[in-house]
Structures are given as C-alpha cells and as structure tokens.
Amino acid sequence: MTSFLNIAGVSKRYGDVQALNNVSIEIRENEFFALLGPSGCGKTTLLRALAGLESLDSGVVTLANEDLLSVPANKRPVNLMFQSYALFPHLNVYDNVAYGLRREKLDSTEIDQRVHDVLKTVGLLDQKDRRPSQLSGGQKQRVALARAIVKRPKILLLDEPLSALDKKVRSEMQLELKRLQHEAGITFIIVTHDQEEAMSIANRIALMDKGEVVQVATPVEMYSAPKTKFVADFIGTSNLFAGTLGSGNISVAGKNLPIPSTQLASGSRAVLLLRPEDISLSATGEITGTLVSSNFYGGSSLLFVDCGFEQLVKVSCALNQVPSVGSTCHLSWSAADSILLADA
C-alpha cells in the first residue's frame, strides 16, 4: 500500500514548548488511524495543523501527492469533528449539516438529497428541525459527525470524539464510527488519550510523547512488541521491572529474573516487561509474594502481589482460582513471553 497522507518532518514550537518535533507519519487510504498520547503530546496540534487551523514551523504534508499546507483552511478536502462538537446553536440540525454544502454552492436539490442521506445514516432524520440545545450528547455528536462526512472529505479528523460521552454510549459510538468509516470509505484520523479506545477502534496507531512519535504500529504489534518503555507502560496493563542485565538474567531489587534472548549488553540498564496474563500462579515460582488485593473485572480478576519490588506485581487470574488476600503466591512465567527493553 502506498501512503495517502504523508506527514514528513513536521515541527511546531509555542514559545518554550516544542509541540511537534520532526514528526513523520504515513497514513494509508481508507485507514482508521489513531493519534494516541498523553495530554500535551502534540496530537491535537498535529490534527489542527492538518485542518489548517494551526500553522507549522517546518515540514511537508502531502495528500495524494499534492501539497496540503499551501491550501487555505476553507478549501482543504479535510473535515474536522471538534471535541466540543461546535454545532451552530442558531441553526437547526438540518441547517447545521447543510452549512458546508451551501458553502460549496451546490444546487439545492443535491444539498437536500445529501443532507437527507447523511441524517438517515446517523439516524437523526426525525430530529432535523431541532436545535442543538434540544439534543442529547450522543445526538449532538452524530450531528457533528454528519456535518463533517456530508462534505465527503478525503480525510475526516476526529478530536477526542467520544470523551464527552458516558461509557455505554461511547462503546456504541465506537462501533458506529467503525461502521461509518467502512461504509463511507473515508480515511479517519482520530485523536485520543484513551489507549483502550485507540486499540479497539483503529487499524494503526501512532503513539506520541512530548511532541515526538514514539511508535507507529497496529494495536496488536503495539501491545505485543512495544519499542520503548514508554510504549510498554502506556499501552495495556503491564509489569515493568527496571534493573541491570547479567548474563541470561536481570537483577531487579536484589532478585535475578530470567530474560528472553537479547541484543543488549550485559551490565547495561534494562526494563523487563511482563503482561499480567503471561504470569501464572504455581506451586513453585520465579518470585514469591503476598496477595495484597484482588480486583474483580467480570470474567477475570487482577491480583496485586507484593514481591518486594518497588511496585506491586499485577497478575491476571481466572475467577475460580483467586487465592484469599494475605496468602502467599508463587508467580511463574515463560521467559519467552517477557519482553526486554533498553532503559534510557
């Protein structure tokens, strides 16, 4: 697949803050792409720059091999769904959705047809005469979505689209966004700080930190093969043991833990990553500790075991095997399931 949107060496500075530092990402056509990262990582700045609402200090962005940055904001084939939705309160649902088409000076029968179609798609046809203030949060979000996709943009940008919704509506909307993206055949770029959301919704994710792209990968790769300690920590639930490498093991707080085969030199600082589901309770284990707490999550429980490390060790455990709090647990795992990362 060739790249559709090509972001190359993009930088932006606000005073002392480097919001974007030499960011390069290639996004494919019809991809559902997520920009993920903690607040202040530059993901929203990048999104706004793509929409033309923010200027960039340097770098090149091309869309289908054409320069995007020289196109004025109101002429870009890129539409943004705002975090606050930014629906026009003085216009009803229909006029909100038609606003962008009217700016294109399309004839009224085509506008009417397209607005009707899109309102039908998002299930709001019978609300078309209502004002935004008369809608629920989920309905407002659908209007914002309809208003953006009715323009048939090459790329739809979504800024934290689900953050204002409660959990149940959010998971419904995640499904709906996926369906819409599939049906409309539009490239979606979503900005989110919620790694679970990015993991469940996107084809690929760019994880950003302090204005830089740390890793670009599919959700599965991101989880199973994180490039750095930051990625390992940010994505999913993880146990991170920082220590010094010996030969065939890592020394963490005076204990030697087994490691997978590695390129890292003996004696260097490293971090061993173990996912909770890769650790099991057994009769004899690599490490032993006391069960401090167990949190129930429906199908399974997450155990917190004090093994004398800085942090409690998190272990995923089937419901019928949860030991009583205070009992001694022996934890074991296969070294091949663990991941060793350099510790900067």
Kindly state whether residue 163 participates in binding another protein, applying the rule CB under 8 A. no
- Angle at alpha carbon of residue 72, lines to 70 and 76, rounded to 5°: 95
Least Å from the CB of residue 109 to another protein = 19
Least Å from the CB of residue 150 to another protein = 9
Q: Which of 302, 309, 272 is nearest to 288 (CA)?
A: 309
Which residue, 132 or 211, has its beta carbon nearer to another protein? 132
74-93 binders of another protein (CB under 8 A): 74-75, 78-80, 82-84, 86-90
337 Cβ partners below 8 Å, 6+ apart? 274, 275, 278
Contact segment (CB under 8 A) with another protein among 70-78, 175-183, 196-204, 281-289 equals 70-78
Which residue, 8 or 91, has its beta carbon nearer to another protein? 91
Kindly state whether residue 103 participates in binding another protein, applying the rule CB under 8 A. yes
Question: b or e along 30-52 (b: 16 or more beta carbons within 10 Å of the residue's beta carbon)?
Answer: ebbbbbbbeeebbbbbbbbbbbb
Contact segment (CB under 8 A) with another protein among 9-17, 33-41, 129-137, 209-217 equals 129-137
Kindly state whether residue 296 participates in binding another protein, applying the rule CB under 8 A. no
Rounded distance between C-alpha atoms, residue 90 and residue 100, angstroms: 15
233-252 binders of another protein (CB under 8 A): none
**What is the H or E stretch that residue 11 is in?**
strand 3-14
In three state form, how does the secondary structure of 237-304 look?
Answer: CCEEEEEEECCCEEEECCEEEECCCCCCCCCCEEEEEECHHHCEECCCCCEEEEEEEEEEECCEEEEE
Contact segment (CB under 8 A) with another protein among 45-53, 195-203, 230-238, 311-319 equals 45-53
Given candidates 8, 51, 242, 335, which one binds another protein under the rule CB under 8 A? 51
Which residue, 89 or 185, has its beta carbon nearer to another protein? 89
Kindly state whether residue 73 participates in binding another protein, applying the rule CB under 8 A. yes
Rounded distance between C-alpha atoms, residue 246 and residue 243, angstroms: 9
Given candidates 104, 107, 185, 320, which one binds another protein under the rule CB under 8 A? 104
Kindly state whether residue 151 participates in binding another protein, applying the rule CB under 8 A. yes
Rounded distance between C-alpha atoms, residue 186 and residue 193, angstroms: 22
Interface contacts to another protein, rule CB under 8 A: 51-53, 73-75, 78-80, 82-84, 86-90, 99-100, 103-104, 131-134, 147, 151
